[in-house]
A and B are shown apart, each in its own frame.
Chain A
Amino acid sequence: MEFKILDSIPDLTNLKSFTERYFSKRYITNVNGVKNNDIMIMFHSNRIALLSLAPSHFFFNKKNDFKVNYSLGNINRLSNSVKGKSKKGGQHLVPKSVICKIEYEDGTSFAVPCCMKGSLVEVNEELVKNPKLLREYPDEDGYIAIILSSIAISEATKNEMLTHEEYLKVLNSFELND
């Protein structure tokens, strides 16, 4: 019997994107009390986490040109490097640590906090060259950083954050209040 790739066409009505297939998305809204300072963290089943902006972040309402700056005073996230299987040497992160700043042409800016404890594995250098990826594909090519933490911390952070359903509910209640 001959087997062909075409004998395995899946159901096309329910396709999932790369991040939907492999990650579970968690949200935190109004970080540091700033309205719509909303962060999304995507957790891989192996506890690796991708930091991104949640779709409700105020960033997506502003149309001005911007730059992504990973160089923050005395810390340059671009110079982060990790070694070996255990990713030794990654910059240490706490929930309040700033990963990058989004800087607008008019001189205003905002900081992106990482919202979890862990160590920095990688930042998305492509955003420096091509910032519009952050606006167009925030949950894929526009991811901000890759963070590694222990299984325990990763689980705890996941549990503290909103699931996708909870997040949608919170957004709806805000709309009603406004």
Chain B
Amino acid sequence: MNDSEVIKLCKELGCCDACCLRYVGLKTPIAYENAKQFLVKYVKEKLEPVNNDEHSKGQDETKPDHVDQSKEQGKEESANNVEQSKEQDLTEPASDVNHSTDQETEPLKHEVDSEALRNEVDNRTHKKEADESTCDTSGAKEMSGEPPAKKQKLDSICVSCLGVLQEENWQQCNTMVKELLHKKQYESETFACALSAPIATMLREHYVMLCLKEKFTHYDTKQLTPLKEAWKWSFGAQLAAHVGMAQDSGAVSPLLVTLNLEYPDDLQELEVLKTLSASLFESRSKQRQRFAVEFTRRSVEQALRDVTLAGLRRQAAWARGAPVPRTHTAPVSVQAAHAPLYLGGRYVKLSRMLPQTPWLVNGLRMMHSSVQETIFEPIARLYGMSPEEMEHRLKFMSAGREDVDVRCLGEGRPFAVEVSDPQRQPTADELRRLCDEISEGEQVIVKNLVKVSREDLALLKKGEETKSKTYEALCIKLSHTEDDELTANGDTAVRVTERDIANINSYRNSDSDSSRVLLTQRTPIRVLHRRPLLTRTRRIHDLTAYRVPGHPQLFVVRLRTEAGTYVKEWAHGEAGRTRPRLQDALRARADILALDVASVDLPWPNTQPIHST
């Protein structure tokens, strides 16, 4: 077996030029840019000498194909490999290519020095130009020496890819992609493309490989170049020229164009699998809930394990080879999506009537706005989003949250907004203007917005669990302490004394260096309807108090707490469900009147300029 024999058989079966290269296992992107030309030269220049050589040996072809013989042929085969080693430096190792057809966005993994190859191909193109111009467009004639009557017609549809790789079918795809990109106005310089191909191509590929295996015992089915890869190298390359952007891999380019190609007889052709892999589809139909769709890439892949050449040939439609396609695949839809943009900043919240996110009770909103909406609206305006669009294209994330009646002061709380499918990156000026517009209403203040990376978001999320926070609580003393009563002097009004402040400032129940107070908190009643009942230990790292001028009964406590501490519950004690509580430090009953977050101790976002993701 050699490549030219493989190509010959593929042609006989009705494969297009690009598919021939795929079955040979060629994984050189440049080869697919003009598969027709490449095939001619590949066969002529690289294979003919070897081809003649092999013909003289009369290998493979003259031997009856039999599985048992593969062992006997082992030695000869390895000798053959050495012989063929020269032509192998043209192709790259097959082992590196991912064969899973489910992952359309899988980055390309080509290691061949394509620059060198391009030069080589160019040289040969020049050399053979004269030949080429007069040459028949079909590569089949040159390499197989078939009489003209038997060769494939120019416009015949490939039995394997159903036209996906045939450039005569690309016009409509090009137009659709161009229209969509024009409509969405991306400012990206590159794009990646992904293919959703008809599933029937899997069955047809399986058939071609079974035929190759029948004829050439040593044909390695793993060498097949996946359809989606060949499509990127052929269709994708010409699309790049058509839309004026460079094609890059999905792992690199932020803009992904997905084409959905459909083949009208797709499901009808797959029906045969229900006979050939009856048990699989019976068990799937019994689990309708789980497997709502009969033919998926996965189910067909499983079914194909049961499909043999003999079995397939017993089916009427396949008795004389792969069914001739009535029509080629055609694009039914195109999607384009740009990788999300992440904006990071810190918000100061000045209102005690503003929830962080829309607060809904039984579908009714309790407050007319929220921090999230205040930040979203200018961003939505910048990207021309409608309110409905805003709801699913913007996502709010933050390092924790405060209650509706708690302000967040100081440097504010770190937050990020994910903008999905952004047409472009905002300029520094636009970011500044966003801050101004957010802060206009004086309920939410954002001083700075920067672009952040996905990794930064992980730090934001992680910070939610690890950061400490500093609070200020306005509190009231509700009863006398024991020593108050000794010095009351007839005046019964409750007052905060210097001794009370000293008591709070010196209070501790923990010997630890890093924390003064260890709290035992049950899940607060206010969240108990939606969270499990647990008893947690939390720490107050630091605790200081001061009196309020003009208000003898009031005092302020400033405390730095571990993430997850319920400060209000510590202050009023929640009927004893948090212990110890503020009243234990004060030595009198106490309650809380107002609470502010004074600082969220998480340095985020990094203010260094961050390159776009």
Contacts and interface: CB of A to CB of B under 8 A. Distances in A.
Nearest to B595: A5
B572 A122 contact: no
A126 B548 contact: no
B529 interface: yes
Nearest to B472: A5
A12 interface: yes
A29 to B, nearest CB: 23
Given A8-B474, A87-B533, A3 B576 contact: no
A8 B407 contact: yes
Nearest to B362: A151
Contacts, number: 85
B44 interface: no
B593 interface: yes
How many chain B residues sit at the interface, stated as a range, is 20 to 34
B554 A9 contact: yes
Nearest to B594: A8
A85 B531 contact: yes
Interface string A64-91: 0000000000000000001111010000
A8 B593 CA distance: 9
A48 interface: yes
Contacts of B522: 122
Interface in B542-566: 548, 551, 553-554, 556
A9 B548 contact: yes
B319 interface: no
Interface in B513-528: 522, 525-528
B528 A48 contact: yes
B363 interface: no
A85 to B, nearest CB: 6
Given A3-B350, A9-B548, A17-B591, A22 B526 contact: yes
Contact of A5 (B527, B529, B576, B596): B596
A88 B490 CA distance: 54
A34 to B, nearest CB: 26
Given A8-B594, A121-B528, A121-B533, A3 B409 contact: yes
A143 interface: yes
B530 interface: yes
Of the four ranges (under 10, 10 to 19, 20 to 34, 35 or more), the interface on chain A belongs to 20 to 34
B458 interface: no
Interface string A20-31: 001000000000
A44 B551 contact: no
A110 to B, nearest CB: 22
A48 B525 contact: yes
A54 interface: no
A85 B528 CA distance: 8
Contacts of B591: 15, 17-18
B417 interface: no
Contacts of A85: 530-532
A12 B528 CA distance: 30
Contact of A83 (B350, B532, B574): B532
B432 interface: no
B352 A8 contact: yes
A48 B528 CA distance: 8
A8 B349 CA distance: 14
A3 B348 CA distance: 10
B31 interface: no
B476 interface: yes
Contacts of B554: 9, 12
Given A140-B575, A141-B575, A9 B525 contact: no
A10 interface: yes
B477 to A, nearest CB: 12
Contacts of A10: 593-594
A109 interface: no
A18 to B, nearest CB: 5
A134 B97 CA distance: 75
B575 A19 contact: yes
Contact of A122 (B529, B530, B533, B551): B533
B83 to A, nearest CB: 69
Contacts of A48: 525, 528-529
Nearest to B527: A46
A94 B14 CA distance: 78
Interface string B336-350: 000000000000101
A48 B524 CA distance: 11
Contacts of A99: none
Contacts of A46: 525-530
Contacts of B551: 9, 12
B215 to A, nearest CB: 63
A65 B528 CA distance: 34
Interface centre among B348, B526, B529, B556 (most CB of A within 10 A): B529
B209 interface: no
Nearest to A130: B576
A176 interface: no
Interface string B569-593: 0001111100000000000000101
A50 to B, nearest CB: 8
B259 interface: no
A78 B526 CA distance: 23
B473 interface: yes
A6 interface: yes
A93 interface: no
Contacts of A146: 525, 528
20 contacts: A6-B474, A8-B352, A8-B407, A8-B474, A8-B596, A9-B551, A10-B593, A12-B554, A15-B476, A18-B573, A18-B574, A18-B575, A46-B528, A85-B532, A87-B533, A121-B528, A121-B533, A126-B576, A141-B573, A148-B528
Interface of A: 3, 5-6, 8-10, 12, 15, 17-19, 22, 44, 46-48, 50, 82-85, 87, 121-122, 124, 126, 133, 137, 140-141, 143, 146, 148
Given A9-B548, A18-B573, 8 more contacts: A5-B472, A8-B596, A9-B474, A9-B554, A9-B594, A18-B574, A82-B532, A141-B573
Closest 3 CB pairs of A and B: A46-B529, A5-B472, A18-B572
